[in-house]
Structure 1
Amino acid sequence: MKSTSETKRLRPFVRRFVHRFWRSERGNVAIEFVIVVPLLLLVLLGFTELYLYMRAVSIVERTAFTLADSIGQMQQVIDDTSTSNSNTLGSIWKAATLIAAPNTLQAKGGVVVTSVCDQTTGCTTPLTTPAQSWGAGTPQITWQRKAPWAASGMTSRVTSTNILPKTWPFRSGDSAIVVEVFYTYTPFAMTAPFWTKAPGTQTIYTRVYVRQRDGQPLLLKAAS
């Protein structure tokens, strides 16, 4: 009987203890911190990585379009790696590295410039007739040059069998310039020390086609 009475006296204390333990909010902040903060860091890392990738793609595209627009206004390019003249290949390569900043194009990228002319005219006939009277031209590569600092794997995708897109109208006597820009991008570079199985590097590639402003094939002049 004595033990029964003691049990009855202890029941209220046990109930209050269980009730207080069940409704206690101590430690909730720590638990929420452990759960929420890693998720927030993961989201922040994801947005940061997405921004860096989109910025790299945007810079590569801007470099290609700016170079193509500039070269399209030239009448000739000097086959010289120096920067003594604004029309030298060296000046074109230098301009590419400046446009691509802050990306280090010279260390992680490449540039290829290809001049295209109409094979049926011998690459010498200017455009003198209205566009509606032009016949179809046959594109051929006049010359092609790659930046000397471009990596060996960054080879041009413009070949004798793949010069211009089929949807790009090329008329008799026409000419064009093709600018290709490569950039080696390393995703998740910030987490590489902790994530050994992170995706490897990938090459961002952009190709731009423009017509010569004066309608003449862009010639490559030997350095004097």
Structure 2
Amino acid sequence: MSPDLLSPLRTRMRRLIRHQRGVAGIEAALILPIMVFFIMATVELYQYFRVVSILDRAAFTVADGIAMQAKTPDRIGGPCTAPNHICTYGAIMGKLMSPVDYAQGGQLIMRLYVADGSGGGAPVWSNEASHGGWSTTCNGAGTCTDAAASASSPDSMPPPQPNDTVVVVQARQHYEPFIISSKFWTALGGSVDLSTTVFYRPRFDDLKEP
């Protein structure tokens, strides 16, 4: 082929290659940030649901432990290493929540609800001390105190039967985003106070306050 004919062809090929490179650069500039965002969002969602799962498991473990008590747990004082002291659960909650930083923004509320039929009608749940109920709150550091009786029972409580009791454990954890900044994450949910509630009937005794 004549060099005179090849020259325009080479010029067109060079232009086409430059054009394709430019298009590829534009595509990369548009797609790469979106891909990075989706990767970060996927990791963030995984971390979020991981914390939710750990919180659920920890609350279930505490409720199961209290329900296994052979007698009313000692709720005042310590030592917080004995299984019959309610503050023990507040002390071990940090380990149950590992690797979540439970000491910052964690809370554990343990209550005993009693079926109260003193009104003459169908029994209703109450955790008033006068009915034998009790309520203890432990902060993330493991310090536990007596809490005021709840004005109402949590949602989804099982229907009360005469002389029935149920252990209710509410675990809470303040969640902070791990990767995506709090300001950006606010549009997708931001920092949030997670909460889970577990109901468990005592296995061996009613665990009422004497």
Aligned residues of 1:82 and 1:89 also touching (Cα < 8 A): no
The aligned residue for residue 191 of structure 1 is 180
> Structure 1's 196 and 31: CA in aligned 2 closer, same or farther, altered over 3 A?
same
- For 2:73, what is the secondary structure of its paired residue? strand
1:51 corresponds to which of 43, 46, 50: 46
Aligned residues of 2:41 and 2:180 also touching (Cα < 8 A): no
Aligned residues of 2:94 and 2:140 also touching (Cα < 8 A): no
Residue 27 of structure 1: how far off its partner (Å): 5.8
1:145 corresponds to which of 133, 136, 143: 136
TM-score by length of structure 2 reads: 0.75
- For 1:180, what is the secondary structure of its paired residue? strand
For structure 2, list consecutive stretches of 5 or more residues without a partner in the other structure.
128-132, 142-146
- For 2:79, what is the secondary structure of its paired residue? coil
Deviations along 1:60-91, whole A, 9 cap, x unmatched? 11111111111011122112253242221221
The aligned residue for residue 63 of structure 1 is 58
Identity among equivalent positions (%) equals: 21
Residue 116 of structure 1: how far off its partner (Å): 1.1
Q: Which has the larger displacement, 86-95 or 211-220?
A: 211-220
Aligned residues of 1:64 and 1:206 also touching (Cα < 8 A): yes
Aligned residues of 1:116 and 1:175 also touching (Cα < 8 A): yes
Residue 32 of structure 1: how far off its partner (Å): 4.8
Residue 191 of structure 1: how far off its partner (Å): 3.1
The aligned residue for residue 77 of structure 1 is 73
Deviations along 1:83-130, whole A, 9 cap, x unmatched? 242221221112211111111212221000011113337xxxxxxxxx
The aligned residue for residue 98 of structure 2 is 101
Residue 205 of structure 1: how far off its partner (Å): 0.5
Give distance in 1, aligned partners of 2:61 and 2:49: 18
Residue 196 of structure 1: how far off its partner (Å): 3.8
Letter in 2 for 1:77: P
TM-score by length of structure 1 reads: 0.71
Which one has a bigger Cα radius of gyration?
A: 1
Aligned residues of 2:94 and 2:102 also touching (Cα < 8 A): yes
- For 2:162, what is the secondary structure of its paired residue? coil
For structure 1, list consecutive stretches of 5 or more residues without a partner in the other structure.
1-9, 122-134, 151-155
Aligned residues of 2:114 and 2:165 also touching (Cα < 8 A): yes
Residue 166 of structure 1: how far off its partner (Å): 6.3
Residue 163 of structure 1: how far off its partner (Å): 1.3
1:88 aligns with 2:69: no
Letter in 1 for 2:38: V
Residue 31 of structure 1: how far off its partner (Å): 4.7
> Structure 1's 29 and 197: CA in aligned 2 closer, same or farther, altered over 3 A?
closer
Aligned residues of 1:77 and 1:218 also touching (Cα < 8 A): no
Give distance in 1, aligned partners of 2:108 and 2:117: 29
